[in-house]
């Protein structure tokens, strides 16, 4: 790292030299617009310069890249639509907007949900009814036909897949959704491109400029050296992290599928090219950019090539650029790694929001064990985020579930981490006697015995098995598990995110095995197409578990949106004194909320004294159940019941 004072000086001198070229752009806009850009640039410049200098200062042509980047940022600002510039100003004036209790997220695949972007618009009333303020459209850019890893192999960052619509339609939708209070979330798949991207094609044709965009090797010497310390991500797809390309007679670095080529960010040209793609996507009206696979973007021999310091610097540099030319846009980190590493990506200068894989995994862990000790211990120390940041709390995503908890946390609670993971896998794959879950294994590693779990929320929570058994009691238990999990992500603090379909308790869809492009990837079991006819039937049928889940969930969402205490992520875990009860206190805007959740299928009690101490009162109202509760006695919670208590006296 260069010395701070030196960087400051050099940043100043460099900007002075570069400024005349950049300022020439000012003629193409109004003085006020240009001033806004210049002010942001001057505010962020030193940080951006320092990061880029550390990353690329050793390149002889560093200054050229700096100049090109600034020009790209300037041009992008000129092209930014006015409505987004207004949003930029609004968001800057209210930077904590996403901490609001009104925030509720949904995620969907356009093709599986509505078919096309045009038809997605028709579902706006539905999104409003559900209370969504955040809508993540799964990858929708051009991708190879057939298997494209669900779109995570991008062939063009500027064109929407023709089957879904056009980039203009996406931009139109972004604006319309924004007017209705829904922020558009889209992926930035920036660790790799598809092997059909123009850059990869040129590399295949032998163009050395584009070969340097990727990691391409003539023989196994370097790949073998890297592989000594790499983790296999998709061991069922292909062993190792490199793919042999017969057409080029070369090995290519492919962390994920063989058609996903890792980009080489040590090349400043790659950073610049991707920065331009990022700004283009921002100008389409994307408000939250989900940074895909952040852990993998920098490689260093002799390491796991995950979570390298340069990965953070790259994201911070992208962040600075966004602050300059598209300040309304936030970054969301997708780091499904050790909890310490997940945290390392979260800061206002890097990713303001992040998936919370730890909470997700531990909610399932507590459901399986009926004990909350690991959840309680981990959330106690690992939930807090820096100011200006927020978790995205989810119960499952389009991906598999992995048992990402800290081994030391587990040992502290007398849990053997490896044995526990084996237990959790067999529990959720349904191999454990007495398990309620119907998951499917994902990427079992024959060498390490490692595996992850696929499955919809409802199937994992027991609804599939219960419906097959026809046993009403088991169905009720499964429904209550589903509602219990939601009542936590809706109240714990951060943005709750629902994989759309789960709001109806959609079950696993095993038909993926008949599709050759999907059969090898069990994650398709939990990405079923929306069945609108079925939904219409069950939606208001409270006798159907699906209708009941939907009705209750929409009620929970409304309740969340009315509670000032749920603003932001400040949360204090309580010591419930009962191994099955997980509880926490939320406090904001003059409201105090005590949430207690029972993870057992038998009734449990919370001692009246604890209720008084944590709830700060004697009489309480349960916002969820509507009843009034006195601390004169123990609080009794039914199977999988959750209460949201506020003191009334």
Judge whether 382 and 404 are in contact, CB under 8 Å.
no
Segment contacting ligand GLC (CB under 6 A): 88-96, 144-152, 203-211, 598-606? Answer: 144-152
Closest-by-Cβ residue to ligand GLC is 152
Q: Given the residues 46, 287, 334, 622, select the one marked as catalytic.
A: 334
Residues 456-492: b if buried by 16+ CB within 10 A, e if exposed: bbbbbbbbbbbbeeeeeebbbbbbbbbbbbbbbbbbb
Q: Which of 44, 88, 142, 149 binds ligand GLC (CB under 6 A)?
A: 149
Q: Is 262 in the site for ligand GLC (CB under 6 A)?
A: no
Distances (CA, A) of 333 to 182, 319, 353, 355: 20, 12, 6, 6
Q: Is 253 in the site for ligand GLC (CB under 6 A)?
A: no
Q: Does the active-site annotation cover 464?
A: no
Q: Does the active-site annotation cover 562?
A: no
Judge whether 483 and 640 are in contact, CB under 8 Å.
yes
Q: Which of 256, 436, 550, 644 binds ligand GLC (CB under 6 A)?
A: 256
Q: Which of 232, 262, 376, 399 binds ligand GLC (CB under 6 A)?
A: 399
Q: How far is the CB of 162 from ligand GLC (least distance, A)?
A: 21
Q: Is 292 in the site for ligand GLC (CB under 6 A)?
A: yes
Segment contacting ligand GLC (CB under 6 A): 63-71, 147-155, 384-392, 632-640? Answer: 147-155
Q: Given the structure tokens 């078919």, which residue do they identify?
A: 115
Q: How far is the CB of 188 from ligand GLC (least distance, A)?
A: 11
Judge whether 341 and 335 are in contact, CB under 8 Å.
yes
Q: Is 195 in the site for ligand GLC (CB under 6 A)?
A: no
Q: Is 400 in the site for ligand GLC (CB under 6 A)?
A: no
Q: What are phi and psi of 178, to 5 degrees?
A: -60, -40
3-state secondary structure of 590: coil
Q: Is 450 in the site for ligand GLC (CB under 6 A)?
A: no
Q: Given the residues 142, 232, 292, 552, select the one marked as catalytic.
A: 292
Q: How far is the CB of 302 from ligand GLC (least distance, A)?
A: 24
Q: Is 157 in the site for ligand GLC (CB under 6 A)?
A: no
One-character DSSP codes across 518-540: TTT-GGGGG-PPP-HHHHHHHTT
Give the C-alpha separation, 388 to 473, whole Å. Answer: 44
Segment contacting ligand GLC (CB under 6 A): 37-45, 60-68, 146-154, 300-308? Answer: 146-154
Q: Which of 37, 152, 355, 644 binds ligand GLC (CB under 6 A)?
A: 152
- Cβ closest to ligand GLC, residue 150 vs residue 615: 150
Which residues are paired to 318 by β-bridges?
none
Q: Which one, of 640, 443, 555, lies nearest residue 104 by Cα?
A: 555
Q: Is 84 in the site for ligand GLC (CB under 6 A)?
A: no
Give the C-alpha separation, 284 to 497, whole Å. Answer: 23
Binding mask 163-192 toward ligand GLC (x if CB under 6 A, else -) reads: --------------------------x---
Q: Which one, of 487, 490, 498, lies nearest residue 597 by Cα?
A: 487
* Cβ-based burial of 435 (10 A; exposed 0-12, middle 13-18, buried ≥19): middle
Number of chain residues interacting with ligand GLC (CB under 6 A): 10
Give residues in contact with ligand GLC (CB under 6 A): 149-150, 152, 189, 256, 292-293, 334, 398-399
Active site residues per annotation: 292, 334
């Amino acid at each position: 790292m260069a010395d701070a004072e030196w960087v400051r000086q050099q940043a100043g001198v460099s900007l002075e030299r570069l400024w005349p070229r950049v300022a020439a752009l000012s003629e193409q806009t109004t003085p006020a617009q240009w001033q806004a850009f210049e002010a942001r640039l001057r505010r962020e410049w030193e940080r951006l310069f320092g990061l880029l200098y550390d990353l690329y200062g050793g390149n002889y042509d560093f200054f050229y890249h700096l100049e090109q980047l600034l020009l790209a940022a300037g041009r992008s600002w000129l092209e930014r639509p006015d409505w987004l510039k207004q949003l930029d100003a609004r968001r800057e004036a209210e930077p904590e907007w996403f901490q609001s209790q009104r925030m509720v997220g949904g995620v969907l695949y356009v093709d599986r949900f509505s078919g096309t972007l045009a038809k997605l618009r028709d579902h706006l009333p539905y999104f409003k009814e559900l209370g969504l303020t955040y809508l993540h459209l799964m990858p929708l850019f051009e991708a190879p036909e057939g298997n494209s890893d669900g779109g995570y192999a991008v062939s063009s960052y500027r064109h929407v897949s023709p089957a879904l619509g056009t980039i203009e339609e996406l931009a139109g939708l972004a604006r319309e959704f924004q007017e209705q209070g829904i922020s558009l979330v889209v992926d930035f798949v920036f660790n790799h491109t598809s092997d059909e991207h123009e850059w990869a094609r040129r590399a295949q044709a032998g163009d050395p400029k584009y070969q340097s965009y990727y990691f391409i090797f003539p023989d196994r010497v370097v790949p073998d050296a890297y592989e000594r310390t790499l983790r296999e991500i998709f061991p069922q797809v292909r062993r190792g992290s490199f793919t042999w390309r017969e057409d080029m007679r070369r090995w290519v670095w492919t962390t994920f599928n063989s058609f996903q080529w890792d980009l080489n960010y040590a090349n400043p040209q790659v950073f610049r090219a991707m920065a331009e793609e990022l700004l283009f996507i921002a100008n389409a009206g994307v408000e939250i950019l989900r940074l895909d696979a952040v852990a993998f973007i920098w490689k260093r021999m002799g390491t796991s090539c995950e979570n390298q310091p340069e990965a953070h610097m790259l994201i911070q540099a992208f962040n600075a650029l966004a602050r300059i030319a598209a300040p309304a846009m936030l970054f969301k980190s997708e780091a499904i790694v050790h909890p310490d590493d997940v945290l390392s990506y979260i800061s206002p200068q890097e990713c303001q929001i992040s998936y919370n894989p730890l909470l997700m995994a531990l909610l399932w862990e507590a459901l399986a064990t009926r004990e909350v000790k690991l959840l309680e211990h981990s959330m106690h120390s690992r939930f807090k985020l820096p100011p200006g940041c927020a978790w995205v709390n989810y119960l499952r995503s389009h991906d598999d579930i992995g048992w990402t908890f800290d081994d030391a946390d587990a040992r502290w609670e007398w849990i053997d981490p490896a044995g526990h993971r084996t237990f959790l896998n067999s529990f959720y794959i349904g191999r454990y006697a007495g398990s309620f879950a119907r998951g499917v294994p994902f990427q079992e590693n024959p060498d390490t015995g490692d595996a992850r779990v696929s499955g919809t929320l409802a199937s994992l929570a027991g609804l599939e098995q219960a419906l097959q058994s026809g046993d009403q009691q088991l169905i009720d238990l499964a429904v209550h598990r589903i509602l219990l999990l939601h009542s936590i992500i809706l109240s714990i603090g951060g943005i709750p995110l629902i994989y759309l379909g789960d709001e109806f308790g959609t079950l696993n869809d095993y038909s993926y095995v008949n599709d050759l492009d999907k059969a090898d990837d069990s994650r398709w079991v939990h990405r079923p197409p929306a069945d609108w006819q079925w939904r219409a039937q069950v939606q208001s049928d409270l006798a159907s578990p699906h209708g009941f889940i939907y009705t209750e969930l929409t009620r929970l969402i409304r309740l969340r949106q009315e509670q000032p205490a749920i603003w932001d992520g400040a949360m204090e875990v309580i010591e419930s004194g009962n191994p099955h009860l997980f509880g926490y206190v939320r406090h904001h805007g003059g409201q105090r909320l005590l949430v207690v959740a029972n993870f057992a299928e038998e009734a449990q009690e919370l001692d009246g004294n604890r209720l008084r101490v944590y709830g700060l009162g004697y009489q309480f109202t349960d916002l969820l159940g509507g009843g009034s509760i006195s601390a004169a006695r123990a609080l009794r919670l039914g199977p999988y019941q959750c209460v949201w208590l506020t003191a009334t006296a």
